[in-house]
Structure 1
Amino acid sequence: MAGTRFDLEPSIKALLRDLGVSVPRVLGRAELPSDLFARRPIELSVAEYYRFWSALDAEAVAAGRTDIAVELGNAISAEMFSPPMFAALCSPNLATAATRLAAHKPLVGPLRIDVDTDHDGRLTIALRWPTAEEPPPLLAAGELVFWVALARIGTRESIHPTAVTAPASVRPNAALRSFLGTRPTTSETTSLTFTALDANRPFLTENDQMWQVFAPDLRRRLFDLQAAASVADRVRAALLETLPGGDPSISGVTSELAVSPRTLQRRLRDEGTTFQTVLADTRQNLARHYLRQRDVRTSEIAYLLGYADTNSFYRAFKSWTGTTPEAARLELAST
């Protein structure tokens, strides 16, 4: 990941309204600005992005809607403009679309896509999230649904993956199993596998001329995203990788970024911050995110934040907030 902020497609606002979901209520639950969709670009941190999808899930459940992932999939259409998706639909087939989206996915979310074709031509699309924690269940399920919807929109055929894997937090109900055509098996990886026939089935939406128009702009946006990442952004991104492994040290980060500790400290000073400040801010933001997850114990949060013991986490959290993790969890649960 080049940075720690990612685009949220403006078209999702129209999609939610089409589904009768209250956008203001979702933003309120996620503690995001009420004018978020009036901003351009709509950029969220990983924690904010995850909060948005968790809030959408909670809002749907509160309204008695348990099939929101499938509803989102059924509502996706070629007419919903999104440059990366439009570029995918301009592709000759699903295999090419997957490769193009893998290159440009950072433009629309905190996700890396690995595309693999085996010796029999079967296509596997694996989705890698930027942190060690599992993504919100709706986000993972929504990505699975998206790929199936994309294949169907492009080919106008009722395509089903032959195999699907998903984190344990994704509990496939009857509607999701029916949409996917198979029951996901539990795995740390979110992935779909398609037959060689379906991977290479022609997209009726193929338009190479439009792809030639969109490709330079997508490359420019991706370059701008990478170039715009500050040194502090890159440190935060590296910490998301090193903290769950128990390494909060500057040496762990400099190893990820391929710079010396002295150079990193100097560049951070030029931006008006320090490594310890970025580390503390990253830990505090992650702590609040983890505390929203009722099944993550305080001792586990301490481990995920790279603390040697729970007491060290308690002391740090008290210095940040003036309260304890348990009190903060109760407060966050009531909002």
Structure 2
Amino acid sequence: MSEILHSAGLVPERLKHLPPEYLLPAQQYCRLYQAAAEQLQKLGRTVPWGAGIGTESFELMCHCMISARTLGDALKLAQRFDNLLYPQLHRRMRLSEDKDSVSLIYDLDLDDASEALMLDSWDREGFQEPVARASGLLVWHALCGWLTGQPIEVEAVTVAAPARNDSYTQRLEAVFHCPVEFNADQTALLMSAEHLSRRVVQTEGSLKGFLANAVYQLIAIDQQPFSTSVAIKSLITIDLPGPLPSLEEVAAQLMMSESSVRRRLQREGTNYQNLKDEVRCYVAIDKLLNEGAKVSAVAEYLGFTEPSSFVRSFKSWTGQTPKAYRDRMVSLGEAWDSSH
């Protein structure tokens, strides 16, 4: 245990002097959870909480999902992955669809050995089963929201376990924004089938940063508002090379009206044109400096019909032409190298 605490940046001696009701800061808790999950994995033990977040299997599953175009495609890939490893991991996500709705079902087989992971002071009868099952739904709910860049609205939540207490139920309902039914036949999220057509806005690049701190990321997702700007910039980047999508097309992919997108962007202090310019400027600079691409090639990649149009736009973004910008950055780099 001391080894796990130290790897999470915690000092056991200091923890002993903290009052029992003291709550670890979120980032410290997440580091501790990650360290514990890694240690359980080394011991060949299954992590019974949180859909296995923090384990290598969870990471590999996310890599499978990130290549999908829509949330439905991503979840079906995850379902195949989970079915393959279900005999070893004893947990899986599966979908049950009908015409208008879909249930994201979380199956979890708990055994007596998992009780060894709980402290003697915990109420074993009232803690293990509801928390283990509900925490799996929490992770899947947050993961779907991260993949699509916007919260997933659920219509009903069921947990195949007795209710722990009123306080725990209320905390779950505050996250899901709907009633939570315990003692159900299955542990599941019920949502509109329309959610499956939402575009996946994340990429391999953003997944790398996400997995580096996945536990904290998924906790934060359910506590902070989603950024429409970030989701739109991801969509624009994914659709390159070629002409950028219209606001109407982006709104459709986010399953929102154009007016709703405009209002959200206004609240975030920006607009669609600014987001397009930010993406094109970032991509152009990356290709000019890191790939040595020609101006004409960058212009074509970004969907400009003429290189001259791209040059004018680039100058409006940076105050310089692409060639002048690249020459200046190269000379600054050479000056830095010679001085060190």
Scaled to the shorter chain, the TM-score interval is: 0.3 to 0.5
Normalised by the length of structure 1, the TM-score is 0.40
Higher relative contact order at CA 8 Å, sep ≥6: structure 1 or structure 2? 1
Q: Which structure has the greater CA radius of gyration? A: 2
Normalised by the length of structure 2, the TM-score is 0.39
